[in-house]
Amino acid sequence: MAPKQFPLKGYTLPLTPKGQSSVVDPPPWYYGGEVMQLVFRTDEKRAKKFIPPPLEIGPEPGKGIVWFAEWVSVSEANPDMAFLNPERAMYRECVIMIQCSFRGEPGYIVPYIWVDNDFTLIRGFVQGFPKKLGRIYQTKLSELNPKIGGKRVGAKIKGICEAHGERLVEGSLLFTRQASPSELPPVRFYLMRHFPNIEDPAQPAVHELAISEVSQVRVADIWTGDADLKFFKSAVEEIADLAPVEMQGGFFHSMGLTINGGKVIHKYR
């Protein structure tokens, strides 16, 4: 049955008569936010365990990045959603990335990512981000707060990620100077789209590597500095297997971008 003949509408479930309820709208998706990036290096062997073929270890073996971010995000279908219902357009996230490469092109795989809202959780699954729910807290600098102050040399921010009663990740950055866009690590995601078959758990219905089609990337107000990062032991998550880490600095900046969908670069089957 062609989509035209299927009377319910929506990019994802729920599919409904008017198509207003889909938890995720179709791309393009528009993002604006604040990002703390913490660059680390772990043991190559530890990193490699998280990199499945055909991805290979990257040019800087063991390199990884953690992002703590707060996003405002709307879609082409509902560009006014940040006004209509702010809750449907905001989320925080903590992303773990491990450098890898695909056919010689370096990028990052995302073994873990936590967010705090459903639309971004499901959108993550659609894109290939393995999102789970967590609570993400991040220092907000405040120019007018007499004891905190704004972005400046010496400013300190921290990110904390907790899920199912466990502190999972904690990272911080001490601002030492402003930086230029060219200093930011270029990030290209190799994303794992995966959706189970309901008849046979061993044969996923969808299992493929994808890249996002990104445009209109802008960064502003970039600071760099000394970073710190801790992965905590967990009964559920395997992130402590990435420790110990050695830090290679970090960044804090504003960022905007558009994701126009994605492209499948490898199918597992």
d(CA 74, CA 244): 37
Q: How far is the CB of 189 from a copy of itself (least distance, A)?
A: 12
d(CA 50, CA 45): 9
Instruction: Note whether 58 binds a copy of itself by CB under 8 A.
Output: no
Q: Which of residues 74-103 bind a copy of itself (CB under 8 A)?
A: 74, 76, 79, 82-90
Q: Which residues lie across from 227 on neighbouring strands?
A: 173
Q: How many CB atoms lie within 10 A of CB 6?
A: 9
Instruction: Note whether 59 binds a copy of itself by CB under 8 A.
Output: no
Distances (CA, A) of 108 to 59, 129, 194: 11, 11, 17
d(CA 49, CA 249): 24
Instruction: Note whether 148 binds a copy of itself by CB under 8 A.
Output: yes
User: Binding segment for a copy of itself among 59-67, 98-106, 136-144, 178-186 (CB under 8 A)?
Assistant: 136-144
Instruction: Note whether 180 binds a copy of itself by CB under 8 A.
Output: no
Position among 40, 50, 67, 251 found at the interface with a copy of itself (CB under 8 A): 50
Instruction: Note whether 193 binds a copy of itself by CB under 8 A.
Output: yes
Instruction: Note whether 104 binds a copy of itself by CB under 8 A.
Output: no
Q: State residue 183 phi and psi, 5-degree precision.
A: -80, -20
In the complex with a copy of itself, which residue's Cβ is closer, 164 or 188? 164
Instruction: Note whether 265 binds a copy of itself by CB under 8 A.
Output: no
Which residues are CB-contacts of 146 (< 8 A; sequence separation ≥ 6)?
none
Position among 181, 183, 203, 240 found at the interface with a copy of itself (CB under 8 A): 203
